[in-house]
Amino acid sequence: MSAGREPGWGPLPPGDPGSTPRPARGLYAAAWLLAFAGIVLLTATAAAQSGGVAAPGSAGRLVLSVAAFGAFVLALAAAAGYQLRSRAARAEPAYRGPSPLILLALIIVALSLVAGLIAASGALALGSQPAGALAAIVLTTAGYLAGIWLFVVRPHVMDWASMGWPTRPGGLARIPADALTGIAVIVPAYFVIQVFAGILAVLLGAQLPDVVPTPQTVPGAVETALAAAIIAPIGEEAFFRGFSMTAWWRDLGLRTALVRASLFFAAAHILNVIGSNPADIVQTAVLQFVVILPVGFVLGWLFARRGIVASMAGHMTFNAISVALLLSSTSIRP
């Protein structure tokens, strides 16, 4: 157990908000009503895009789409708020905040809304070029941190120190040792995982999707390295290890939390799998999930032993090696 973490965490009864009169009934009802409204609006958007009778123009379709995503954002925020209220009476060290699954869904939908508005404005093509990929990853990282602050830190569910961040006295002195531990563990793990990934890719006849676009210029290479090797690990470690794993650790014990957080981390990484052939999408998603899963276990183990600095350093090193190999096989012009 890392220094500064609260002792005695183990399996605790998760509590049943339904065993007592339901608190915050307004939030509960609002979450369902807004979700239903979002489904209706999304259905109307799909009908408009298919060119149905009296389908509105592009501006009308944009308004319908924004309204649908806005309704889902409000629904998920209400659901998270309801869980905060319903779990507020739980005794320490039980987790008293919203489900990590609901909070991730809220962040994804909110970011999709923002990204859609940016794309509609024509200001920036997120993800299509290194600069766009950097902007998308900055936006995602900001979303992770803002979600944790708004629904976990601000309502005093957990502070940053209890999520593994070195904010307590003596924590800063541990940063070099924790970072070196993360690097030392992840380097051999990287090559073992890559061999496993190669074998599995041949068996499935699939390949891992590109996380970032291949850069062609030096500025593009710098943007790619900054996005993948520095910024992305900060947000992902804050959410999947610092927040999610700690929340489950408090209620279910370390072993279950490690397994659940690793599965959660791997499942989140198949959301970027796209394609036109359903069979290819399934094969690629399976490959992505199975390859990312051991990465999540290693990073979770580092987090449990040394805190978030170790898991973040390990994550950054893993991605940095991947970026270095990508750049070494690419012709980069000034």
What confidence tens digit (pLDDT) does each residue in 104-159 have?
Answer: 999 999 999 998 888 888 767 676 688 888 999 999 999 999 999 999 999 999 99
The position carrying tokens 């394609």 is 275
Question: Under a CB-based contact definition with an 8 Å cutoff, are residues 15 and 94 in contact?
Answer: yes
* pTM of the predicted structure, to 2 decimals: 0.89
The DSSP letter of residue 214 is: P
- At 217 the three-state DSSP class reads strand
Which residue's structure tokens are 């060290």? 93
CA–CA separation, 114 vs 110, rounded Å? 6
For 242, the token pair is 């610092």
Q: 45-56: per-residue pLDDT in tens?
A: 888 777 654 556
- Give the whole-number percent of the chain exceeding pLDDT 70: 89
State the alpha helices, DSSP H only, in 87-154.
100-121, 130-148
Query: Which sequence spans correspond to the domains of the chain?
Result: 17-23+88-328
Which residue would you say has higher pLDDT here, 301 or 283? 301
CA-wise closest residue to 6 among 93, 91, 84, 76: 93
Place of tokens 């659940």: 260
Residue 77: closest CA among 20, 135, 146? 146
